[in-house]
Structure 1
Amino acid sequence: MIRHDELGRLPVRSAVPALRSALDEHGAAVLCAPPGSGKTTLVPLVLAGLVGGGPARRVVVAEPRRIAARAAARRMAWLLGQTPGGSVGYAVRGERVTGPHARVEVVTTGVLLQRLQRDQELAGVDVVMLDECHERHLDADTVAAFLLDVRDTLRPELRLVAASATTDAEGWARLLGGAPVVEADGVSHPVEVVWAPPARPLRPPHGLRVDPALPAHVAAVVRRALAECAGDVLCFLPGVGEIARVAGRLGDLGDVEVLQVHGRASAAVQDAVLSPGAGRRVVLSTAVAESSLTVPGVRVVVDSGLAREPRVDHARGLSALTTVRASQATGRQRAGRAGREAPGRVYRCWSEAEDTRLSRFPAPEIRLADLTAFALQAACWGDPDASGLALLDAPPGGAMAAARSVLAAIGAVDPAGRATGRGARMARLGLHPRLARALLDAAPEIGAERAAEVVALLSEEPPREYGDDLAAAWRAARRGGDAYAARWRQEVRRLRAAGGLSRDADGAGQGPDDQVAGLVAALAFPERLARADGGSYLMVNGTRAEPGAGSGLRGAPWLAVAVADRPVGAGHARVRLAAAVDEDVARRAAAALRSEADEVRWNGGDVVARGVELLGAVELTVRPLREPAPAAVRQALLDGLREEGLGLLRWSPEARVLRQRLAFLRMRLGEPWPDVSDDALHARVDAWLEPELSRARRRADLARIDAEDALTRLLPWAGGDAARLDELAPERITVPSGSRIRIDYADPERPVLAVKLQEMFGLQESPRVAGVPVLVHLLSPAGRPAAVTADLASFWRDGYRAVRAELRGRYPRHPWPEDPAGAEPTRHTNARLRR
């Protein structure tokens, strides 16, 4: 019996006439309905003609999560006075409950995507409703694009509804070809917002890590909510780890039941959450409870304000979840859970000022995620680069290029990017293409059953308590009685049916578990094969990785890494799940990444020339090269000169002085005098180091190159200026005593002449080079600095008396005339002069 009283209380009923009209006139509509308004339950029943009159139609409702799909189907069936499988059914991965007369079927977007690939016309389906489209999951965006293509080319009569509580309505309306936006009235129950920031600011989340103070603060807010409000409490946290930590701090609540719900929770736990409790409850949940379902009895929401999003290092094929601040739209969606049944309250664990700085909507998954599966779906659809698909956000070019590279390597697409027959079979398996490749290639060798078991283990990461050894985790799943093991066995059955895999036969399926697990992981993730190297592991993709402390995987010569992540800011990846393999398995699984190369480079202070067999970044074998290519040797020597400096050449004192003189002229006169800085000399190697460099083969040959001879090639010979080098920047100058004294050009801004004071008597002005007065260091008879001047005349007039007074007593045998400017210069003492 239809529960008309319950249906009559759903606020979305006021929008039904406008929605029907929009679909009749345009064939598509955007439905904006607040949480708890009944858009997920009443609207499909109305569109199917099961309530409210109207023609009988078949309606498919696409939900982003399995728990939401099951819950929506059960709720609709209950409203009709039925159980799922009659007029309303559902289908999620590995489970389908529906009958031949079902008019409404609730499916996950992944299931609908597979159905579209098998039957592009969706024969027999009249309306498709994309629920919670604001979440912008990649599967949902892809389904929407495919459905629009179907409407444009095959089924113009197919009706589409994009429904959400918080969404970019205008964007979706444009995507649906200018579809009308229908807005439903909100729930009449108000939700009070309480800002509950921590006493001290928390450190921002980093990768999967959150401030350890966050669980403690959230638990304190939950206790406050229980004390201040009636009803059950729904608390949103970013992940399973945070849920467990908060639950641990709420273990003494007495009669209050604490439930933990997330994607890995058992069906029994999920059913318990969605059923009224006998007493008061606290439900700790990830994003699975944000939308599409009502948790009975909830009057209070506690929101941690955090969410998890994927991040991918496309260059290395490593993906990881990272913790981010939830968007304003997500905050509104979560708050709405408190007002579905009665007036409620939301406690937000951040300040009102912080709230204004949050992003409006969550980031679309297509901008962040690994696009390999999406690229295969697009290729199977006939649009390899997805350029013809109607998407709210175009896929990033780099991510698509990386995805197509993976698909080509596993034989899923041809050189033009079109799906091969093998690729089409992979797409039908409902797996990531990497796992599909492992299943198809491993089954003939190790048996279908064992291949499906290991692939099922890789399709949903096992619990941490299973450990990081893939073979050991496999054995734990076989004997396990937990929720994960139950889901694993169900997935094994699904894979065998989807892949059309026959049972082990003809001796297939032999080999120990460790070997089998390693083979499957290697086939799925060949670029993550890793060889022990200097205390860590070097992956084929070039990333270094380390198993956890105390892991039994340490010491294995090779690992097939199935799950790894690289925390934000970390240099090495962390191995989460792997199996030990040997080099033969590595060579087979990653054969497409094998290459041979002649390598000539500067390494360890000299030229190294060798032939290398590579598996990606991992060296398999090395042999010396007897006759390396001269050009490669030359480049290696140049790299050495840049790395270790021009000091690798032979720099005599004369060479150093010549370089200093040229640097001085360059600074004072500019062109045509050459720039002899390190950068300039590296840039003009051809002009001054040839032919010596071309004849060199190793470091010792560089040390034999005379830098002075080489530098003379840079002198401006063509214009004749080179002949003026000794005139403009002489190496030595003659002082009044007749001595030829070397000029120091170490500081190109001011050359220095260091000379004994008595040898400069009689000179009225300071010597000049290239028009610049030299800085005269006047020395005592013992060669120690006595005075420094750039203006000799001024020194004779003003400074000499003080120097004379200080030194004449110390050096009485040397001349100290009262008029040095008019005195006779000398290199000798008075006694010598008298003789």
Structure 2
Amino acid sequence: MTSRTFDLARVGAGLSFAAAVDDVERALDASTALVISAPPGTGKTTLVPPLLAMRTRGRVIVTQPRRVAARAAARRLAELDGSPLGERVGFTVRGERKTSPQMRVEFVTAGVLLRRMLDDPGLDDISAVIIDEVHERALETDLLIGLLGEVRELRDDLTLVAMSATLDAERIAAVLGSDGVPAPIVDHSVPAHPLTERWAPSPAPRLDERGVTRSFLDHVAGTAASAARDLVRTAPDADTLVFAPGAREVAEIARRIADLAPDVDVRQLHGQLPSATQDAVIRGRAGHDRPRIIVTTSLAESSLTVPGVRLVVDSCLARQPQRDASRGMTGLVTAAASRSSCVQRAGRATRQGPGTVVRCVDERTYAAAPARPTPEIATADLADAALLLACWGAPGGAGLRLIDPLPADSLRHATEVLRTLGAVDDTGRVTDAGRALSRIPTDPRLARALRDGSALVGARTAAEVVALVGGDIRVRDADIVSALSALRNGRGPDAQRWAREVDRLMRLAPPARSGRGRADDAGLVVALAFPGRIARRVERSSNGSTFLLASGTRAGVSGPLADAEWLAVADVARASGRIAAGSGAVIRAAAAITEQQVERAADHLITDRVEAQLVGGRVSARRERRVGAIVRSSVPVRASAAEGRDAVERAVRADGLDVFTWSDAADELRRRMALLHRELGEPWPDVCDDALLARLAEWLDPELSALAGGTPADRIDLAAPLRRLLPWPAAADLDALAPERLEVPSGSRARITYPPLDDPAGQPVVAVKLQECFGWAETPRVVGGRVPVLFHLLSPAGRPLAVTADLASFWSGPYAQVRGEMRGRYPKHPWPEDPWSATATRHTRRRAARD
């Protein structure tokens, strides 16, 4: 143990979590993993890091979900320690750091630590990692837990602590534990100050198809200004915290409040502001300053403390990622905030005494909100996560102990994105290009645009476009080129933030030619990032144009971009209304692009091949040049044998086996084989559509060649091809195990109808006249006695009288009722009282007696 580098009594003075330090010590004596649950403001983020630094020799890393929280926590601990920021306590966030070689505690964002682990997977100089605010279930935090769990398997000296204000502690403890033993839990609670809840629902809707309505922004601003005035009269030193879903809404509400309450100091707080501006808000105000109204995003919900707040005004809205699996689109959407998030927000008013929360909804709307936020891993785009896991050597998270697994559909899409970028190979393993992209701290698609775009159009132009596309900047009329022009001239509220991001990206860009590119170069950079969103105009109307994206999605756009032939689309979202033009999606940011630039950015999506369709049962071939789903040209051709065969196989896979006419013999054979596969398994083959399509060349090869040569599909009988799949030598038992016919006591050979493929519990059926089964006690079975035959017993006219899989029970019971009902209707046919001793016959009584 090293010398005591921190004075815990001094650091923990006045913090309620100081009372839990002994519990933490005892837990760490027993385990190197620990879960800590404590309310916001109790001091866990301030006390636990120096405590671990005193117990270990290496550096302690503390992760925060946001940059401003990492900086604020580092600054606070350094002040309490009495040391300069960066000496013993420092921080590293994107684009900024305060560190030194002698540093013992370092606050970082989760993303910083993830990328650091790619270069230093063993964390050799690190003795402990604290993951804070686990309850937010940020994607990067979830990934860290999985990766650090694997590191701990190799390093039994690495301490791992998960902390949060509210979390499912038992579940996290089970993931962090080892050998089936969960990690210990330290639960610290404090009495809460009283909270007064008020409701101020808006008379107008909160959301429409464009997002938050202007009338609701007016309502939130008016509510905040009025409530803050009331607060000042009773508590002049108190401040107000207003929660909005995103940075745009923060700016709009702040502007409105400033107009309504000019005597109040209105501040904004969100992750896109300069760090100095953020830090000034967090430091609070001097006693003589004006009362403050701080308008913020969920940034202030739990991961940092804004001092002096006694009133919270909550829009009860949040921005969250949402994936549209059908269109392969992921974006931020505004929706109702979860009730647990709203509780966290309200708690900001009671940190220092009694407080008030005003929710801008009614109680019914609040109660209808989700109880907890959806974990980001379930809704976010997973391209960055999938690349990181591939670089780690665990594609898709294989082998990692994650709180929740990565959703299969989203992971499949992310892997395909990485494959189109050349970041992973066909097996999902990372390539050299993928490793290069992973070192650029941004989405892999934007990283590719920055890297390749710098070489093509210059580093500055590439950085400018990437900063715009990745910066959540509103693009008027969806026109990226016009937006870039305004930003370059310093116009708009986002100009300064965009310029800072451009400078950062310039430092990350590979060496390339300097200078500013042409206006149409913006489209090329966007296309490099999102080749699947290259789009071509397919329809023009008075409301705008509809474009077909290479991914297959159709989306509408209005304004100047509606006249473009080709677009590189940066942002497309689900929508309805006039602009979407019935496509179900709207283009929100794009730039015009030339066809030559399309070929440069999306060469891996360009195909030139013969495509075949089965029209009227015959092959019709065309040579098509495509960019993904976009057809650039299509002309009829006479395909070569090889082209025709390849095209026919693709057509059959696309259209399914229904392109053929299934004969009765083929359908019957398929049903028999399906039952044998269901009951016996291998070697009897699976003959469902998917299985047959996967083995086309194995069983249908000659027929595919015949189809390509001009033979009509309806002249191809599939019975013989199916027999090619019968296993040898087991095929010799087909007729014994699943016979085509069954001999009944009358001597007739009745056809067995086997169940259809979509009936997994179906039984084979024999439909036969009741009189032909007299005396038959034991119900016959097929598949070696495994499956009873279901009998449809018919009247002499062939109408069903009874359905049974137990003939003995039928003769002993229901037969008497059937006899009573039928013997008067069919007097010429035998209806004996004793069916057991009667002679089975398919004839009338007179004919049977003559025979």
TM over 0.5: yes
Aligned to 2:27: 22
What is the CA distance between 1:456 and its match in structure 2?
A: 3.3
1:613 paired to 2:616 = no
What is the CA distance between 1:590 and its match in structure 2?
A: 1.2
Point out where structure 1 has 5 or more consecutive residues left out of the alignment. 644-693, 703-769, 771-835
- Identify the match of residue 310 of structure 2 among 277, 299, 318: 299
Query: Using a 3 Å threshold, how does the CA distance of structure 1 residues 10 and 57 change in structure 2: closer, same or farther?
Result: farther
Aligned to 1:147: 148
Deviations 1:50-98 (A, max 9, x none): xxxx556521111111111111112122222344222211111111121
Q: 2:610·2:639 contact (CA, 8 Å) conserved in 1?
A: no
Query: Using a 3 Å threshold, how does the CA distance of structure 1 residues 24 and 464 change in structure 2: closer, same or farther?
Result: farther
Distance 2:490 2:539 in 1: 37
Q: Which amino acid aligns with 2:356?
A: R
- Identify the match of residue 239 of structure 1 among 238, 246, 251: 246
Aligned to 1:257: 265
1:342 paired to 2:353 = yes
Q: 1:2·1:79 contact (CA, 8 Å) conserved in 2?
A: no
1:195 paired to 2:198 = yes
Q: 1:565·1:575 contact (CA, 8 Å) conserved in 2?
A: yes
1:561 paired to 2:569 = yes
Distance 1:488 1:214 in 2: 28
- Identify the match of residue 12 of structure 1 among 10, 17, 39: 17
What is the CA distance between 1:225 and its match in structure 2?
A: 2.4
What is the CA distance between 1:227 and its match in structure 2?
A: 4.2
Which residues of 2 match residues 42-81 of structure 1 at below 5 A? 42-49=47-54, 57-81=58-82
1:266 paired to 2:274 = yes
Distance 1:443 1:356 in 2: 51
Q: 2:576·2:585 contact (CA, 8 Å) conserved in 1?
A: no
Q: Which amino acid aligns with 1:287?
A: S
Q: 1:514·1:579 contact (CA, 8 Å) conserved in 2?
A: no
Distance 1:486 1:41 in 2: 33
Deviations 1:641-699 (A, max 9, x none): x99xxxxxxxxxxxxxxxxxxxxxxxxxxxxxxxxxxxxxxxxxxxxxxxxxx99x9xx
1:386 paired to 2:397 = yes
Distance 2:584 2:267 in 1: 36
Q: Which amino acid aligns with 1:280?
A: P
Structure 2 SS opposite 1:40 = helix
1:443 paired to 2:454 = yes
What is the CA distance between 1:498 and its match in structure 2?
A: 4.3
What is the CA distance between 1:355 and its match in structure 2?
A: 4.4
Distance 1:5 1:119 in 2: 34
Query: Using a 3 Å threshold, how does the CA distance of structure 1 residues 255 and 224 change in structure 2: closer, same or farther?
Result: closer
Aligned to 1:818: none
Aligned to 1:164: 164
Aligned to 1:763: none
Aligned to 2:128: 127
Distance 1:85 1:5 in 2: 19
Which residues of 2 match residues 171-182 of structure 1 at below 5 A? 171-177=171-177, 178-182=182-186
Aligned to 1:215: 217
Q: 2:387·2:418 contact (CA, 8 Å) conserved in 1?
A: yes
- Identify the match of residue 624 of structure 1 among 629, 633, 636: 636
Q: 1:600·1:632 contact (CA, 8 Å) conserved in 2?
A: yes
- Identify the match of residue 323 of structure 1 among 312, 315, 334: 334
- Identify the match of residue 413 of structure 2 among 381, 402, 413: 402
Structure 2 SS opposite 1:129 = strand
Deviates more, 1:448-457 or 1:159-168: 448-457
Query: Using a 3 Å threshold, how does the CA distance of structure 1 residues 546 and 351 change in structure 2: closer, same or farther?
Result: closer
Distance 2:360 2:456 in 1: 54
Distance 1:273 1:455 in 2: 29
Which gives a bigger RCO, structure 1 or 2 (Cα 8 Å, sep 6+)?
Answer: 1
Structure 2 SS opposite 1:126 = strand
Query: Using a 3 Å threshold, how does the CA distance of structure 1 residues 32 and 585 change in structure 2: closer, same or farther?
Result: same
Q: Which amino acid aligns with 2:518?
A: D
1:587 paired to 2:595 = no
1:545 paired to 2:555 = yes
Aligned to 2:90: 89
Q: Which amino acid aligns with 2:427?
A: A
Distance 1:170 1:432 in 2: 33
Q: Which amino acid aligns with 2:250?
A: I
Q: Which amino acid aligns with 1:346?
A: V
Distance 2:22 2:208 in 1: 48
What is the CA distance between 1:252 and its match in structure 2?
A: 1.9
Deviations 1:558-610 (A, max 9, x none): 11112222237963433232222110111221111122344455999x99853
Q: 1:193·1:348 contact (CA, 8 Å) conserved in 2?
A: no
Deviations 1:454-502 (A, max 9, x none): 333333233446x743344344444438774444444445445445x22
Q: 1:514·1:580 contact (CA, 8 Å) conserved in 2?
A: no
Query: Using a 3 Å threshold, how does the CA distance of structure 1 residues 487 and 210 change in structure 2: closer, same or farther?
Result: closer
Higher gyration radius (CA): 1
Distance 1:445 1:464 in 2: 24
Structure 2 SS opposite 1:102 = coil
What is the CA distance between 1:611 and its match in structure 2?
A: 2.3
Distance 1:483 1:619 in 2: 41
Structure 1 SS opposite 2:92 = strand
TM-score (ref. length: structure 1): 0.70
Distance 1:122 1:516 in 2: 42
Q: 2:34·2:161 contact (CA, 8 Å) conserved in 1?
A: yes
Q: 1:94·1:490 contact (CA, 8 Å) conserved in 2?
A: no
Q: Which amino acid aligns with 2:184?
A: P
Which residues of 2 match residues 332-481 of structure 1 at below 5 A? 332-464=343-475, 468-480=478-490
Query: Using a 3 Å threshold, how does the CA distance of structure 1 residues 193 and 182 change in structure 2: closer, same or farther?
Result: same
Deviations 1:420-476 (A, max 9, x none): 1211111111121112222232333334444334333333233446x7433443444
Deviations 1:105-164 (A, max 9, x none): 1111111111111101112111111111111111111111111110012x2211111111
Query: Using a 3 Å threshold, how does the CA distance of structure 1 residues 206 and 163 change in structure 2: closer, same or farther?
Result: farther
**Taking every aligned residue pair, what percent have the same amino acid on both sides?**
42
Q: 2:273·2:497 contact (CA, 8 Å) conserved in 1?
A: no
Q: Which amino acid aligns with 2:553?
A: T
Query: Using a 3 Å threshold, how does the CA distance of structure 1 residues 38 and 208 change in structure 2: closer, same or farther?
Result: farther
Point out where structure 2 has 5 or more consecutive residues left out of the alignment. 1-5, 541-545, 660-706, 715-796, 798-851
- Identify the match of residue 531 of structure 2 among 503, 526, 532: 526
Structure 2 SS opposite 1:361 = coil
Deviates more, 1:223-232 or 1:514-523: 223-232
What is the CA distance between 1:18 and its match in structure 2?
A: 1.1
Structure 1 SS opposite 2:310 = strand
Query: Using a 3 Å threshold, how does the CA distance of structure 1 residues 306 and 70 change in structure 2: closer, same or farther?
Result: same
Structure 2 SS opposite 1:312 = strand
Distance 1:495 1:342 in 2: 44
What is the CA distance between 1:544 and its match in structure 2?
A: 2.2
What is the CA distance between 1:254 and its match in structure 2?
A: 3.0
What is the CA distance between 1:208 and its match in structure 2?
A: 5.6
What is the CA distance between 1:318 and its match in structure 2?
A: 2.0
